[in-house]
Amino acid sequence: MGEKRSFGNKMLTVVFVIISVIYMIPIFEVLMNSFKANSFVNTDTFALPNAESFVGWDNYIKGMTFGNYPFLKSVFFSLFITVVSTVLILLCTSMAAWYIVRVNDTLAKIMYYLCLFSMIVPFQMVMFTLSSTADKLKLNTPYTIPIIYLGFGAGLAVFMFTGFIKSIPLEVEEAAAIDGCGPIATYFRVVLPMLKSIMISVGVLEVMWIWNDYLLPYLVLDRTEYMTIPIHVQYLKGSYGTVDLGATMAVIMISIIPVIIVYLFCQKYIIKGVAAGAVKG
| 259: CATH | 1.10.3720.10
For the ranges 171-180, 186-195, 221-230, 231-240, the lowest mean pLDDT is seen at 231-240
| Residues 124 and 50 reside in one and the same domain | no
Mean pLDDT value across residues 136-159 = 91
pLDDT in tens, 83-119: 999 999 999 999 999 999 999 889 999 999 998 888 8
Residue 145, pLDDT > 60, answer yes
| Residues 147 and 210 reside in one and the same domain | yes
| Residues 72 and 38 reside in one and the same domain | no
- With b meaning 16 or more CB within 10 Å and e meaning fewer, what string describes 161-194? bbbbbbebeeeebeebeeeebeeeebbeebbbeb
| Residues 97 and 211 reside in one and the same domain | yes
Q: Which of 61, 82, 97 is the C-terminal boundary of a domain?
A: 61
- Please give the residue range of the domain that contains residue 47: 2-61
Q: Which of 61, 81, 106 is the C-terminal boundary of a domain?
A: 61
Spatial separation of the C-alpha atoms in residues 148 and 73, rounded to whole Å: 21
The model's confidence at residue 280, banded by pLDDT at 50, 70 and 90, is very low
Mean pLDDT value across residues 196-220 = 90
| pLDDT at res. 100 | 93
| Residues 8 and 85 reside in one and the same domain | no
| Residues 116 and 50 reside in one and the same domain | no
| Residues 41 and 129 reside in one and the same domain | no
| Residues 152 and 241 reside in one and the same domain | yes
Most confident of 35-49, 60-74, 209-223: 209-223
Q: Exposure of 211 by Cβ count < 10 A (0-12 exposed, 13-18 middle, 19+ buried)?
A: buried
pLDDT in tens, 45-64: 888 888 888 888 888 888 88
The separation between CA 215 and the C-alpha centre of its own chain, rounded to angstroms, equals 14
pLDDT in tens, 177-206: 888 888 888 899 889 988 888 898 899 889
| Residues 22 and 110 reside in one and the same domain | no
Cβ(252)–Cβ(211) under 8 Å?
A: no
Q: Which of 16, 40, 61 is the C-terminal boundary of a domain?
A: 61
| pLDDT at res. 274 | 59
Please tell me the total count of domains within the chain: 2
